[in-house]
A and B are shown apart, each in its own frame.
Chain A
């Protein structure tokens, strides 16, 4: 087991000239389950392939443990990788697929046999060992791909969106299973996904990547409660954080050391002395509805999405979209104007460039 450290990792592909990774630096301590989260094209898979050694970084360093492996061959890094489409060798049986890496390392036959048996027991693959990948369901293939990784007993596990080809139910099961595996093996795992639910439920820490840059690195709580910038704020959460563009005026609020933020039809008093353009972030669950004129302002109902346990109310606050998450079923006709309240303690502020202000 070992930690993984990236130092100012940059990767530019020759064909585009557009950097897929820019100056990414992070450290994954030994035994951590790190989720790399980002929309497609953000560079998260490139980062993973760089760690695996399948891509050579343009600049920067990669360390596994204390060892610099930036230019080492994949075989020399002692990492195991689970691919999005599993990449099970179609001409080999499950047993041969799992044993492949061990054979490549020229382990003695008895040792291979023992380790394959152990891995297949752990994942419940016993009956499938003599089948070929084409004869397996996608869930079974997923397990075989896992088996192929754990049989190596590597220093680092790399997962490249391994659950994206499964249906929703199976995905939930596999999430739990992967976490169980992590607890048992206590291995360093780096898990790439675009699914924030996977990130929030599985990651001990989450690294949010966007356009090749590391936007935030923190626990799921951090990322949710204190997003580093507007992108993270919008990306995490379903639906994401409301961002309202407004102008802060501290003139009238000098007495309290705060200011008043006008955004659309809302006028929000804030405990922040700020003058000028300011973006207000507020999560839908911190927006509540009330009678006209009773809250920070009024808005017009656009669409109501009842989800059973809660209702998402899409509103138009003077040209700015706002979503409110209301508990239970909430019936209100489209076009109706209602008042809005926001939880003053749960407000986030970003400057015009999107960076967090406070």
Chain B
């Protein structure tokens, strides 16, 4: 009974996790909002406060007035303090900044978190020195919960989840209860994420509205009425808010409230600011909710934890009745663990990451990595270079049957055991175990237009030299030859193993039946080699579609994209053009192609041969 209590506690406790995560996300968002407003406000003050004469520092009386005005601005909801040096200006009784904080602010020139408030540096007119700070206090903790979180079902769902946890962890739990528990736990996860999203959305709106006040105030203080000039002058205030924030002329009364629109394919939150009769500015920023995708997965993962714990406890409970089986299962998992962990880390995780990347605009240089849906796929499919590289890859794959034919021929020649065949086998296998880069370098010399061995041989025969790797007509074939030379030894070894697996009796029977060597091969050996042939073909085509190193070292995809293959294009998209999203989309397309090709091959050739 006590054990059951612990189990219920564990399951119910884990059911809380998504909400805790959601609260944590909310708190983070609040702090980010405070930091954002502090940055924007600092930029505003820097814009509207005139400098003291003969100095880049602000005129103190003006600064006092602006700070006070801002704190009492109608609609301004943020708790604000402006420091000049370390001294507070809005509420003179408030504590001063410590010298250390000031120094940190100077060094960092970013937003600090201090005493429950975001502290943004206030730079002088010339933006050379930090002369003060703007502090914006975070809102109280309750703000991290939104009543809108999925119609307020988070709490009932949570209560239900906890109640169901009792049922699901009970030793005699029935399947429907367990299922209901899982569903409700999932609902809690969705609700938790909905809250994260709502907070992010609200915060974006809040920043837009607060900044609108600042822009309006700034407009009132500026002499000009020209919209374009206004936008240009006030833009730094908006931009201080980061996250793609910008101020442009335009807009109308329809956009007085914050709206979500798409601009050039990207989502935007925009609000219109009236700066005079019929004159509008549009304040835009990246909607906070579009970058909460990661939280969705986290919330769902945490939500899944509770049913997982319940299932695990149930399993342990059931296995306890059969300890031998439990031990065996644990041992089995223990043996599987290293391989499973390796697969998870080096195969599944990268594939999932590629999936994620393929639907985002993702670049090393840019901080904004918005979700773009299938745009990357569209871009990849419209890119003529992708089609060229696909064509080249397919052409390159012609080397697979050629290699296989040579390898099978060699295997048949070298199947007898003798010293010579053993030496020959080793010689053919060597290129496969040698470094591809070294091989490529040797072949580069062989192919060299002026000093290459190949052209030397040609000139000895009285033929004109060919720039093998420099000529778009020969480059791909030249790379294919290198690939064949590298692969043939490996395939030969596989075929040799396959040949050894065919009992001699079949060939003896065929000889007695009157089949000559040619017919023995085509009627007996080759059909019996089918599984091996299929294996070599499938792995060969997969390898051929993934060829990269040879191309990279020999030709770098050139000349004129003549050897530009898919894997090289993926590499170029990612590291050359910094389009990781497109590169991932292309990788997934390559995966889809290979999957289809392999599946077709198995369908066409796949019936396994059984030896009688």
Contact = CB atoms under 8 A, between A and B. Distances in A.
A90 B530 CA distance: 12
Contacts of A141: 612
A81 interface: yes
A90 B511 contact: no
B610 A83 contact: no
Interface stretch (A56-64, A72-80, A187-195, A311-319): A72-80
A53 interface: yes
Contact of A104 (B506, B514, B528): B514
A87 B506 contact: yes
Contact of B519 (A91, A104, A136, A152): A104
Interface of B: 503, 505-506, 508-516, 519, 523-524, 527-528, 530, 609-612
Contacts of B514: 74-75, 101, 104-105
B31 to A, nearest CB: 71
B524 A52 contact: no
Contact of B612 (A54, A74, A86): A86
B513 A100 contact: yes
Sort chain A's interface into a size bin.
20 to 34
Nearest to A152: B513
B511 A87 contact: no
A89 interface: yes
Given A79-B512, A90-B611, 19 more contacts: A54-B511, A74-B511, A75-B516, A80-B512, A85-B505, A87-B503, A87-B505, A89-B506, A89-B510, A89-B527, A90-B528, A90-B610, A90-B612, A101-B512, A104-B514, A105-B514, A133-B612, A136-B612, A148-B513
A240 to B, nearest CB: 32
Nearest to B520: A104
A134 B516 contact: no
A52 B510 CA distance: 12
B530 A81 contact: no
Main SS class of interface, B? helix
Contacts of A100: 510, 513, 515, 523
A234 interface: no
A76 to B, nearest CB: 8
Given A89-B524, A100-B523, A83 B505 contact: yes
Contacts of A101: 512-514
A187 to B, nearest CB: 15
Contacts of B610: 90, 132, 134
Given A104-B519, A132-B610, A133-B612, A91 B530 contact: yes
Given A104-B514, A132-B610, A87 B509 contact: yes
Interface in A100-156: 100-101, 104-105, 132-134, 136, 141, 148, 152
Given A88-B612, A91-B609, A104 B515 contact: yes
Contacts of B516: 75
B530 A53 contact: no
A280 B515 CA distance: 53
A141 B524 CA distance: 18
A88 B519 CA distance: 16
Contacts of B511: 53-54, 73-75
Contacts of B509: 81, 83, 87, 89, 148
A88 B513 CA distance: 12
A90 B611 CA distance: 5
A83 B508 contact: yes
B386 to A, nearest CB: 42
Contacts of B528: 90-91
Contacts of A53: 511-512
23 contacts: A52-B512, A53-B512, A73-B511, A74-B512, A80-B512, A81-B508, A83-B509, A84-B505, A86-B612, A87-B503, A87-B505, A87-B506, A90-B506, A90-B612, A91-B528, A91-B609, A100-B523, A101-B513, A104-B513, A104-B515, A132-B610, A134-B611, A152-B513
Contacts of A83: 505, 508-509
A215 to B, nearest CB: 27
Contacts of A85: 503, 505, 612
A50 to B, nearest CB: 13
Nearest to A79: B512
Nearest to B508: A54
Among B503, B514, B516, the one with the most A-chain Cβ atoms within 10 Å of its Cβ is B514
Nearest to B530: A91
A315 B506 CA distance: 49
A153 B528 CA distance: 27
B503 A54 contact: no
B607 to A, nearest CB: 9
Among B508, B512, B523, B527, the one with the most A-chain Cβ atoms within 10 Å of its Cβ is B512
B512 A81 contact: yes
Contacts of A134: 610-612
A134 B610 CA distance: 7
Nearest to B611: A90
A141 B523 CA distance: 20
A271 B503 CA distance: 57
Nearest to A77: B512
A49 B524 CA distance: 20
Contacts of B524: 89
Nearest to B511: A74
B442 to A, nearest CB: 40
A87 B513 CA distance: 12
A87 B508 contact: yes
